[in-house]
Amino acid sequence: MKVAINALHNAQGADPGTGAPRAAVRRPPLSQRWRGSRNLLPALLFLGLFFFAPLIGLLLRGVLEPVPGLGNYEQLFANSAYARVLFNTFSVAGLVTVISMLLGFPLAWAITLVPRGWGRWLLNIVLLSMWTSLLARTYSWLVLLQGSGVINKLLMALGIIDAPLEMVHNLTGVVIGMSYIMIPFIVLPLQATMQAIDPMVLQAGSICGASPWTNFWKVFIPLCRSGLFSGALMVFVMSLGYYVTPALLGGAQNMMLPEFIIQQVQSFLNWGLASAAAALLVVITLVLFYLYLKLQPESPVGNAR
Amino acid sequence: MSAVIKEAAHGKTLVTLRNLNKHYGDFAAVDNISLDIQDGEFLTFLGSSGSGKSTTLSMLAGFETPSSGEILVEGRSLVNVPPHKRDIGMVFQRYSLFPHLSVRDNIAFPLAIRKLGSAEIAKRVDAMLKLVQLETFAHRRPAQLSGGQQQRVAIARALVYEPRILLMDEPLGALDKKLREDLQDELRQLHRRLGITIVYVTHDQEEAMRLSQRIAIFSHGKIVGLGSGYDLYQNPPNAFVASFLGNSNFLRVTASSHGAAAFEGQSLAIRLTSGLAADQDALIMVRPEKALALSTEQATREPLPAGWNEVNAKVGEVLFLGESQTCQVVTAGGTEMTVKALSAAGMPMQPGDTVKVRWVVADACVYTEWAESDLSKAAGAH
């Protein structure tokens, strides 16, 4: 995903920056640019057969079942219970993105700053948590957060709270569990971006008169922007479509969109409404991706080339 | 070293380094350096990599803290002042421009930090763009500029807030030869026009000669030679500087009496040198271009003038180098020498010919103390 994002924005980023006249000179004629595209055919065929065809089939169900028309979409937006699901989905995804960014940024920075060997250790720990079974990790949070769980018992023993806090089977649990799961997806692109920043640029900032604080906000953060953007986008989009963690840590009342889709398919066999909801997810993701490309005109480490 | 003291008498001292040390564990990167930098001078730190020149510059900029010693600017200590409060300009080897800002914003950055009014900033940035001739590139990003252009932006960014001292850390190292020479000329003119104090670090001696009023030669964390390029080249204070700067011929001699020495059993006249006792080993250094090679017939036609030395040698190789020609010769005792002459003067020697190598006694430097490692070209790094 990261590779795809970078490749796309590099290809697109090269032109607006260089200015129209040079771009016109550099860009070869259309026929020449598409020369050799015949080699793409097998890949396109594979993609079309096994990705686009099923996807289109699914999306068609949204407008064809149970009766042709936009009835499913109307229902999705008009019904307040369904609107609530949408709201939950977005607020949880947003909150998870912010929290994992706040936790992931210092972690990525630490990995970049500590001596080489130590940084690799830290990174391996992050990766290891990512490779551990998702179910195992989610259940661990269940054990930790439940009413008789370690955290509640500890807080009560310390006299901070009198009654156990309700931290699972509601959105709090979902946000906690998902933030934890999403941190690696922020840390990895962010760390790669930070690693590529020339430390001399920060030295240049300070000799130009920037205090450490100013240097951080005026030089370091702007240079991290591409990593922050791609990490945040990935986390937000993944959170929108995440199922396992919300299903285990969330409650029946506060559903998120993926749970809603599963419920419609498995319990009610309402394929039409489910595919309408799925289509909505796809569209939202595409819009976000487009915005991301729009906001990223330049290469993250333009100077390094 | 007498030339140094003469130079120092000119301007007033702006920066004083006093017994400056920088240790990394047991390793002394900078070893007890003391140096006065004059107001408005162009001083170059010259040395091979690892000689301590860049570390000294980093301490001036504030990126490294000295292990001990003092850095004074007009009598005020800089050691505990963080880099952003030093008001020093710096140009880095790899330009280190802000990749996310346009050329204009890069140059405006130090002024924006200093919270100047936008009209004032625009005025000063325009003046700078004009000075470095980049007006038409103001809206480009650094990545869209060539190396030379990027370096000019870096210079503009370092000068725009009018620091009194400009530090330059091998700023032209990454550029090709022609562009480097153009920028060297621009830099020299810039220095003359602005009257700013420049401390420049390089390992390229030609660059150091071209640019600077004074050169400090670094070796093993110490300054081993300080003075104008002319003085350091013509009268190197020690054998290391002699071998480091340009090319040199070293002849091992044994002093016999005042003003005379024995070289491979032959008597040579040498400069009067204080501290040279009879029977003491000494080293004579003759620059290749100060020596003449004469064929046997030429030598018989032109008798040896007074004040000249002559040794017999056999030609090993004659090389044509364009504007000049060199001739490698070996004396009977096995000492290798190089003689260099302008091509126009001609050197009609063939390998195997016997020649007489002559030089003016006053042109040859005499050293009484040296280390064997000083005589090899690769010396100077740790």
The model's pLDDT over A149-159, given as tens digits with 9 standing for 90+, comes to: 888 889 888 88
Domain B2-240 indexed as CATH 3.40.1400.10: no
- Give the span between the Cα atoms of B266 and B50, in whole angstroms: 41
A22 within a domain of the structure (yes/no): no
A30-33 CB contacts, 8 Å cutoff, 24+ apart: none
Higher local confidence (pLDDT), A301 or A115: A115
Contact at CB, A214 and B87, closer than 8 angstroms: no
All residues at 6 or more sequence positions from A79 whose CB lies less than 8 Å from its CB, including other chains: none
**For the ranges A3-17, B90-104, B191-205, B328-342, which has the lowest average pLDDT?**
A3-17
Mean pLDDT, residues A137-162: 88
Q: What is the pLDDT of residue B69?
A: 94
How far is CA A305 from each of CA B95, B147, B314, rounded to the nearest angstrom?
Answer: 13, 11, 54
pLDDT band at A164 (very low <50, low <70, confident <90, very high): confident
CA A138 – CA B134 distance, rounded (Å): 58
Chain B residues near residue A10 by CB distance under 8 angstroms: none
The Cα–Cα gap between B235 and B364 comes to: 9
User: How far, in Å, are B294, B319, B326, B329 from residue B350 at the CA level?
Assistant: 12, 10, 12, 11
H/E stretch holding A61: helix A53-64
Residues in chain A: 305
B142 in contact with A at a CB cutoff of 8 Å? yes
Name chain B contacts of A298, Cβ cutoff 8 Å. 99-100, 141, 143
pLDDT of residue B132: 87
Please give the average per-residue pLDDT across B322-338, as a whole number: 91
Q: What is the pLDDT of residue B10?
A: 54
- Distance between CA atoms of residues A182 and A126, nearest Å: 11
What pLDDT is stored for residue A14 in this prediction?
Answer: 39
- Cross-chain residue pair B141–A198, CB shorter than 8 Å: no
> For A103-119, what is the mean pLDDT?
90
Output the pLDDT for position A75. 84
> How many residues belong to chain B?
382
Nearest C-alpha of chain A: how many angstroms from B82? 9
pLDDT greater than 60 at residue A5: no
Give the pLDDT confidence score for residue A129 in this predicted structure. Answer: 86
Residue A11: inside a domain:
no
Q: How many domains, in total, are found in chain A?
A: 1
Kindly state the tokens that stand for B285. 């250094």
Q: What is the distance between the alpha carbons of residues B259 and B273, in angstroms, rounded to a whole number? A: 8
For residues B239-259, average pLDDT: 89
A15 — pLDDT class (breaks 50, 70, 90) = very low
The confidence score (pLDDT) of residue A169 equals: 86
Would the pLDDT of A127 be above 50? yes
What's the whole-number mean pLDDT along residues A271-288? 88
pLDDT in the model for residue B117: 93
- Protein fold of B247-372: OB fold (Dihydrolipoamide Acetyltransferase, E2P) (2.40.50)
What confidence category does residue A33 fall into, taking pLDDT thresholds of 50, 70 and 90? confident
Distance between CA atoms of residues B339 and B189, nearest Å: 35
CA B317 to chain centre: 30
The span from the CA of A163 to the CA of A104, in Å, is: 32
- Please return the burial class of A4, using the count of CB atoms within 10 Å of its CB with bins 0-12, 13-18 and 19+: exposed
pLDDT at A10 exceeding the cut of 80: no
Q: What is the CATH number of the domain that holds A251?
A: 1.10.3720.10
Instruction: Provide the pLDDT for residue A28.
Output: 67
Which residues of A fall within a CB distance of 8 Å from B82? 206, 211
Whether the predicted pLDDT of A84 surpasses 90: no
pLDDT tens digits along A165-198: 888 888 889 999 999 999 999 999 999 999 999 9
Task: Look at residues B237, B209, B248 and name the one whose alpha carbon lies nearest to residue B46.
Answer: B209
Evaluate if residue B3 carries a pLDDT over 70. no
**Alpha helix (H) residue ranges in chain B:** 2-8, 53-61, 103-113, 118-131, 147-159, 177-194, 205-211, 229-234, 239-244, 296-301
Confidence of residue A77 (pLDDT cuts 50, 70, 90): confident
A219 interfaces chain B, CB cutoff of 8 Å: yes
For residues B74-95, average pLDDT: 91
What residues are paired with B294 via a beta bridge? B356
In this prediction the pTM is: 0.79
Neighbours of A286 (CB within 10 A): 11
Residue of A198, A210, A222 with shortest CB distance to B96: A198
Measured distance CA(A305)–CA(B143) in Å, rounded:
7
Residue B273 sits at the chain A interface (C-beta within 8 Å): no
| Mean of the per-residue pLDDT values of chain A | 83
Q: Which domain holds residue A298?
A: 75-304
Average pLDDT, chain B: 89
The answer to whether residue A233 is domain-embedded is yes
Over residues B116-134, the mean pLDDT reads: 92
Chain B residues whose CB is inside 8 A of the A203 CB are 61, 63, 83, 92, 96
The dihedral region occupied by B276, where left means phi > 0, alpha psi between -120 and 50, and beta the remainder, is beta
Place of tokens 């032959």: B266
Backbone angles phi, psi at B22, to 5 degrees: -140, 115
Tell me the count of A-B CB pairs closer than 8 A: 88
Among B92-96, B143-147, B202-206, B375-379, whose mean pLDDT is lowest? B375-379
pLDDT of residue B265: 85
- Judge whether A8 lies within some domain: no
- What is the distance between the alpha carbons of residues B341 and B294, in angstroms, rounded to a whole number? 11
Q: Give me the residue spans of the domains in chain B.
A: 2-240, 247-372
Tell me the chain B residues in contact with residue A193 when contact means C-beta distances shorter than 8 Å.
Answer: none
Q: Which H or E run includes A169?
A: none
The pLDDT score that the predictor gives to residue B8 is 43
